[in-house]
Structure 1
Amino acid sequence: MNAAAAQVLADGVDWGAFAVNLAVAAGAALAVMLVTFAIGTAKGLHRIVDVAWGIAFAAVALTSYLLSAGHGDDARRLAVAAMTVVWGLRLAAHIARRGRGHGEDPRYARMLARAPGSPRLYALRKVYLLQGALVWLVSLPVQAASYAALPLGPFAAAGLLLWATGLLFEGVGDFQLARFKEIPGNRGAIMDRGLWSWTRHPNYFGDFLVWWGLYLLACATWQTAALTLVSPLVMSALLIWGSGKRLLEAHMADRPGYAAYAARTSGFFPRPPRRIPREAG
């Protein structure tokens, strides 16, 4: 047995093959974002990058699954690829349906209105390439899990449970909100029913669980656990303090009834609503 093969047996990971995967996965994420940039520029609608977010994760997962054949445990490879693809494509389809018939996202419109130089190149750098880099970084557990040669164990089982719970929160929360908005009398009203009475952001909380669940599948060895810990931490920061919860709540703050809703409803982690009288009107 040569030294490289002995090291793979000792670590449980083929680090050389994993390094190649990192480069190819970056290319896959970049390709999705560049194609989306071309479409968004042609349509004058950069909000479609939000659809590409989930698709790019699916592309990285499929790339890692194909490249890791013969290097990682087959059950782990298939599980992490399927979990990521299901999550990514569900999210992409939901955002595409939600945005159908709408104009540019106000966030991107404001950003590009203040862009120094060419708005097109600014959008490429600050929207598409940045999101492509984040896809690559956040997907590190998906890539690493694909190259772990050890069989599935308790961490993987816990990860699957977290992922399933998160996907349920996302799907049910999105469905409840969509049904609420379909009722004409609810136009401009605050959604405070179902999961939305337990947390102001069931979809973001679902994302949080999904990515910590995928991280647990990468915890086959202490090396992969340490290497990929940054990914769920970054995703958690984005959801809570970055472009998720913080920006949405700033946008919603002036709506009638929102202050009372925020006072009785958890900002992120679900809990029963506080018993506070609702704001009149």
Structure 2
Amino acid sequence: MKFTRNQRNFLLAVCVSLPSLAFYVAFLTSYNGNTPQTLNLWARICAWSADHPLALLNWLFFLNVSVLFWVISLVQRSTWLIDLYWTILPVMIIHFFSWHPSSKFDPIRSRVVIALTWIWSIRLTHSYFRRENWQWGEREDWRFAKMRKENPKHWWWLSFFAAYFSQQCFLVGICLPFYTIHNSTVTWGFIDLVISLVCALGVVIAYIADTQLHCFVHKNLTSKQQGSSPVPVLDKGLWYYSRHPNYFGEQLWWWGLAGFSLVVGQAWATTGTLINSAVLAQVTVLVENKMTADSWRSDAYKKYQQETSVWIPWCKRHAVKRD
């Protein structure tokens, strides 16, 4: 039986995380909570894994994602897997912490955040596949594709740091609130409810913004096929008030999660969120440079930049005549 490229990539995406899942299930089922008194290697590995949840997460991420995904990318000549797994790994990470033997948590906060994380993941996964025409591994992130083109001789090793090890630092960093939520017995309160609403609002804003962008891109493609001129700039809906409302929604989500760390008294875990925001600011610059580099929409986008807020939805700086 011959598989298509899409089918092969689907099977790959399903199976690639099995090594970590198999290890974690084996650890959970065999660890008995006792410190091993013998030289049994597996018992000692389990004891270490129980005592060091953050270290264990990083080792599993390094071996199964940073290294294995990188090797696969060298074979396939594409980094598409890490783009897809950005939508899935936070769900896996929060369950990693909630199931870990050392976890201690308020059950309401844990269940609410797990539910919100699933909703966030479903939203982002849907957006990913909608953008990729419901194909698995159709293309890689344009930023990595650009780096590959600019560094053809060295990309084989640069890609490990640019696309994988750096992603481990960012993703584990912004998921640190999941650890703090499951490392505190502070009871659920009114502030938690407010933070939960902020997280939910961020997901809703990101979904609406991505849907509006998807419709805009689709209409432009249709216009090109019909011989009509495409619209240079999306400036309707949420995009009328912000140049990147999808980024704003994502930031609301991640900073909402960081708020839970503050509630449980572990502010150190917001460091990853702060770094993520700084990186996203740089990504915003790259995206806008890409937009202004397109000659057919450069003037329209520069005018859009002058009038419209970057992230936070806000009123136009100058009155704009609209149809």
TM-score bracket, normalised by the shorter chain, equals: 0.7 to 0.9
Determine the C-alpha separation between the residues in 2 that align with 1:28 and 1:143: 16
One-letter identity of the residue aligned with 2:155: P
Determine the C-alpha separation between the residues in 2 that align with 1:94 and 1:70: 32
Q: Report the equivalent of 1:24.
A: 56
One-letter identity of the residue aligned with 2:292: A
Determine the C-alpha separation between the residues in 2 that align with 1:191 and 1:154: 38
Q: Report the equivalent of 2:104.
A: 71
Determine the C-alpha separation between the residues in 1 that align with 2:240 and 2:168: 34
The partner residue of 2:190 within 154, 160, 176 is 154
- More displaced 10-residue stretch of structure 1: 196-205 or 265-274: 265-274
Q: Report the equivalent of 2:114.
A: 81
* Cα deviations by residue, 1:88-127 (Å, 9 ceiling, x for unpaired): 3432332233134754444223322444864222211221
TM-aligned CA deviation for residue 71 of structure 1: 1.5
Determine the C-alpha separation between the residues in 2 that align with 1:157 and 1:170: 20
User: What residue ranges of structure 2 are gaps of 5+ in the alignment?
Assistant: 1-47, 224-228
One-letter identity of the residue aligned with 1:261: Y
Q: Report the equivalent of 1:268.
A: 311
TM-aligned CA deviation for residue 70 of structure 1: 5.7
- The structure having more radius of gyration, on CA atoms, is 2
- The alpha-carbon distance between structure 1 residues 37 and 93, as it changes in their structure 2 partners (threshold 3 A), is farther
Determine the C-alpha separation between the residues in 2 that align with 1:62 and 1:39: 26
Determine the C-alpha separation between the residues in 2 that align with 1:179 and 1:265: 20
The partner residue of 2:290 within 217, 242, 251 is 251
- After superposition, residues 126-137 of structure 1 pair within 5 angstroms as 126-137=162-173
- More displaced 10-residue stretch of structure 1: 204-213 or 147-156: 147-156
TM-aligned CA deviation for residue 54 of structure 1: 2.3
Does 2:208 correspond to 1:172?
Answer: yes
The partner residue of 1:122 within 158, 164, 173 is 158
Contact 1:159–1:212 at 8 Å: present in 2 too? no
One-letter identity of the residue aligned with 1:253: T
Tell me the SS of whatever aligns to 1:229: helix
User: What residue ranges of structure 1 are gaps of 5+ in the alignment?
Assistant: 1-15
TM-aligned CA deviation for residue 41 of structure 1: 3.2
Q: Report the equivalent of 1:10.
A: none
Kindly, what percent of the aligned residue pairs are identical?
A: 25
Contact 2:83–2:140 at 8 Å: present in 1 too? no
Q: CA RMSD in A?
A: 2.7
The TM-score with structure 1 as length reference comes to: 0.81
Determine the C-alpha separation between the residues in 2 that align with 1:162 and 1:46: 32
Q: Which has the higher contact order (CA 8 A, sep 6+)?
A: 1
The partner residue of 2:270 within 219, 229, 235 is 229
* Cα deviations by residue, 1:51-80 (Å, 9 ceiling, x for unpaired): 222222222112112116761111222222
Equivalent residues, number? 260
Q: Report the equivalent of 2:145.
A: 109
Contact 1:80–1:217 at 8 Å: present in 2 too? no
- After superposition, residues 175-194 of structure 1 pair within 5 angstroms as 175-183=211-219, 184-185=222-223, 187=230, 189-194=232-237
- More displaced 10-residue stretch of structure 1: 161-170 or 26-35: 26-35
- The alpha-carbon distance between structure 1 residues 32 and 74, as it changes in their structure 2 partners (threshold 3 A), is farther
The TM-score with structure 2 as length reference comes to: 0.72
